[in-house]
């Protein structure tokens, strides 16, 4: 599967509130939601939508949010809205239903990312899309190698998935190749934090896959292949070149890491 010159990808940016609660970073910054907290002089979500807008494979951007007005007031966002490249969709009360809401009526394939993935560049999205297409993936998840993440910043990520072929971190960016593949989003129900909540792996992937996951006796390709067969889909682990793809803004520590890395780039 490959994109022809007329086919493009739709990007979903998840920018809702968790459980409707005010995030500590947002509270400290005096804003209503985390996605507009400034980092390196710009709101978190501005970094994300700017990178997507500069990715040649992305046609339209859908921001899934509970409080869009504060986001729409950002100049860069308002410009994309005026150009017809960015629209808003109303967020649901959980991650999976927010993805379904954002995907309604969209053109596939989709790239699903989050509003705090500020370190992703346009070329990172291009790499992710190219690798997912090359693999013929129905669904996929971006991963980064542990050594690459730690080389970018040793404080950037604390949790890693251990496979037989090494440690990897989730990059909170996903590929949805078709409407059928949307059911793969069900593995994210409840937040997708499998390292912290192992029974979610058992529920989504099956008990034997949970054992293999923790024993580390399967490669990432083998595990994703088994999960995909369980769902009737081809699921692909997409390994990114840059370790910064696995660093998002979750707390004060990762905000500081992101702020430093963005300022060093500029």
Residue 51 to residues 120, 178, 186, 238: CA-CA distances in angstroms? Answer: 7, 23, 27, 19
Q: What backbone phi and psi angles, to 5 degrees, belong to 114? A: -120, 155
The DSSP string of 21-66 is PPPHHHHHHT-SSGGG-EETTEEHHHHHHHHHHT-TTEEEEEEEES
What is the rounded distance in angstroms from the CA atom of residue 1 to the CA atom of residue 192?
27
| Region 9-265: CATH code | 3.90.550.10
The DSSP string of 134-187 is HTT-SEEEEEEEHHHHHHH-TTS----EEETTEEEEEEEEEEE-SSGGGGGGGG
For the chain, which residues make up each domain, given as ranges?
9-265
> What pLDDT, on a 0 to 100 scale, did the predictor assign at position 166?
86
The C-alpha R_g of the chain, in whole angstroms, comes to 17
Pairing of strands 58-65, 9-14: parallel
Tokens 């529920």 belong to residue: 203
> What pLDDT, on a 0 to 100 scale, did the predictor assign at position 132?
95
Residue 222 to residues 196, 235, 263: CA-CA distances in angstroms? Answer: 22, 10, 38
> What pLDDT, on a 0 to 100 scale, did the predictor assign at position 211?
43
pLDDT per residue of the chain (266 residues) written in tens, 0 to 9: 556 555 699 999 999 876 657 889 999 999 999 999 999 999 999 999 999 999 999 999 999 999 999 999 999 999 999 999 999 999 887 777 888 899 999 999 999 999 999 999 999 999 999 999 999 999 888 999 999 999 999 999 888 888 778 888 889 999 999 988 886 666 555 444 544 555 555 555 454 454 455 545 566 666 666 666 666 788 888 999 999 999 999 999 999 999 999 999 98
Q: What angle do CA 256, 12, 50 make, to 5 degrees?
A: 55
- The residues near 222 (Cβ < 8 Å, ≥ 6 apart) are 164, 212
Quick count: other Cβ atoms within 10 Å of Cβ 108?
15
């Amino acid at each position: 599967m490959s994109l022809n010159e007329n086919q493009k990808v739709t990007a979903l940016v998840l920018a809702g509130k968790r459980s409707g609660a005010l995030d500590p970073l947002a509270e400290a910054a005096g804003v209503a939601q985390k996605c507009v907290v400034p980092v390196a002089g710009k709101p978190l979500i501005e970094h994300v939508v700017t990178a997507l807008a500069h990715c040649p494979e992305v046609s339209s951007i859908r921001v899934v949010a509970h409080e869009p007005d504060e986001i729409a007031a950002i100049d860069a966002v308002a410009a994309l809205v005026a150009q017809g490249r960015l629209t808003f969709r109303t967020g649901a009360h959980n991650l999976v239903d927010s993805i379904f809401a954002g995907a309604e009526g969209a053109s596939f394939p989709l790239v699903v990312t989050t509003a705090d993935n500020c370190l992703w560049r346009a070329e990172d999205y291009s790499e992710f899309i190219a690798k997912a297409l090359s693999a013929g993936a129905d669904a996929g998840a971006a991963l980064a190698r542990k050594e690459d993440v730690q080389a970018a910043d040793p404080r950037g990520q604390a949790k890693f998935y251990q496979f037989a072929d090494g440690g990897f971190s989730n990059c909170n960016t996903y590929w949805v190749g078709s409407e059928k593949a949307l059911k793969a989003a069900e593995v994210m129900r409840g937040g997708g934090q499998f390292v912290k909540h192992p029974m979610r792996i058992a529920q989504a992937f099956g008990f034997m896959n949970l054992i293999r996951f923790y024993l580390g006796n399967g490669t990432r390709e083998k595990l994703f292949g088994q999960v995909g067969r369980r769902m009737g889909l081809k699921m692909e682990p997409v390994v990114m070149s840059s370790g910064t793809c696995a660093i998002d803004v979750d707390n004060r520590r990762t905000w500081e890491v992101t702020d430093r890395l963005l300022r060093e780039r500029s």
